[in-house]
Amino acid sequence: MSELPTTPSSDANPLRQMLLAREATLGENMLIRRLLPHRQRRMIGAWCFFDHAGPADVSQGPGVRVGPHPHTGLQTFSWMVDGEILHRDSLGYEQLLQKGQVNLMTAGRGIAHSEESPAQRSDVLQLAQFWIALPQDKRFIEPAFEHYPELPRLTHQNALLTVLVGEFMAQRSPVVVYSDLVGVDITTTQPTQLDLPLNPRFEYGLAVLTGHAQADGQDLTPGSLLYFSPGQSHLTLNITEASQIILIGGAPFNENIFLYWNFVERNKAEVLESIRLWHETDHFGVVKNYDGPPLAAPKLT
Ligand code: MN
């Protein structure tokens, strides 16, 4: 095993946390690992939600079916690792998301969408889905949707890096976000040791989707997220087998969010108002052509 990276003298003891996922069900039948939010770590930068779905066999049955539901105050960022998902939203977008592509939905003041496995699909589905909290001055922007069929890629020390969000090793993702963030997919087909530059202003999280790696003497396997506090300028990752790994990071988000169901607000009163708007008004618009009922918000007491 390699020597651990030396931490900068300005921060001799950056905080490390190993966060273990909770298992949950997405829609009707998809097992997912929820890595964020975590009781011990609500956010990493503006990243406030991280689900790892699959890999799962969706060749039989309905696959993923998540009926129309609203969002506010966030961007949903969907990274398709394997397979396909069909997105529909209340702006009228209908977009198939395929392996290696990103869907970015900016909820702003409010949008509704559905997600489902298309009838014609691959046998295996694997998806990393994130939420990015919008800062105060962008919380109420108009909703928007963008599909990114390709993202910048580079090879580095036998790994294929895809820059999902922000800038990494001089490559910049076209994905539009509203705070200082980075997201990188690291894919290897063989064991390798990777030296990665970090931004000392950022906090980071490292999650193995498939495979195995070691960082800072910690074993990383699917279902765990290793957190690093700011103050570190590089990371050595010892990848021991063919693996797919996600690195997320960002400047600490200096606002207290109130996350409930699919809403990112600032307090309970705002959540109650969003629930009311969803159940009683057409504020979020209508998702057309989804074959099923909209989802109801769980009661907030
Ligand atoms: Mn959603």
Over residues 202-211, the pLDDT tens digits come to 999 999 999 9
Q: Annotate 114-126 with three-state secondary structure.
A: EEECCCCCCCEEE
Of the pLDDT bands very low, low, confident and very high (cuts 50, 70, 90), residue 212 is: very high
Question: How far, in Å, is the centroid of ligand 1 from the Cα of 177?
Answer: 17
Question: How far, in Å, is the centroid of ligand 1 from the Cα of 65?
Answer: 11
Whether the bond into 55 is cis, omega within 30 of 0: yes
Average pLDDT of span 101-118: 98
% residues pLDDT > 90 (the chain): 87
Confidence (pLDDT) at 28: 54
Question: How far, in Å, is the centroid of ligand 1 from the Cα of 198?
Answer: 30
What tens digit of pLDDT does each residue of 230-267 get?
999 999 999 999 999 999 999 999 999 999 999 999 99
Question: How far, in Å, is the centroid of ligand 1 from the Cα of 230?
Answer: 30
Task: Assign residue 147 a region (left: φ > 0; alpha: ψ between -120 and 50; beta: otherwise).
Answer: beta
Of the pLDDT bands very low, low, confident and very high (cuts 50, 70, 90), residue 12 is: low
Question: How far, in Å, is the centroid of ligand 1 from the Cα of 112?
Answer: 8
Average pLDDT of span 60-85: 95
- CA 285 to each of CA 127, 137, 265: distance values in angstroms, whole numbers, following the listed order: 26, 23, 19
Confidence (pLDDT) at 25: 73
Instruction: Reduce the DSSP state of residue 188 to 3 states and report it.
Output: strand
Residue pair 143/106 in contact by the 8 Å Cβ criterion:
yes
**DSSP run (H or E) holding 77:** strand 74-82
Confidence (pLDDT) at 1: 38
Residue pair 107/40 in contact by the 8 Å Cβ criterion:
no
Question: How far, in Å, is the centroid of ligand 1 from the Cα of 153?
Answer: 27
Task: Assign residue 119 a region (left: φ > 0; alpha: ψ between -120 and 50; beta: otherwise).
Answer: alpha
Please give the mean pLDDT across all residues of the chain: 93
Question: How far, in Å, is the centroid of ligand 1 from the Cα of 80?
Answer: 15
* Phi then psi dihedrals of residue 294, to 5 deg: -70, 160
Whether the bond into 37 is cis, omega within 30 of 0: yes
Question: How far, in Å, is the centroid of ligand 1 from the Cα of 59?
Answer: 23
% residues pLDDT > 70 (the chain): 94
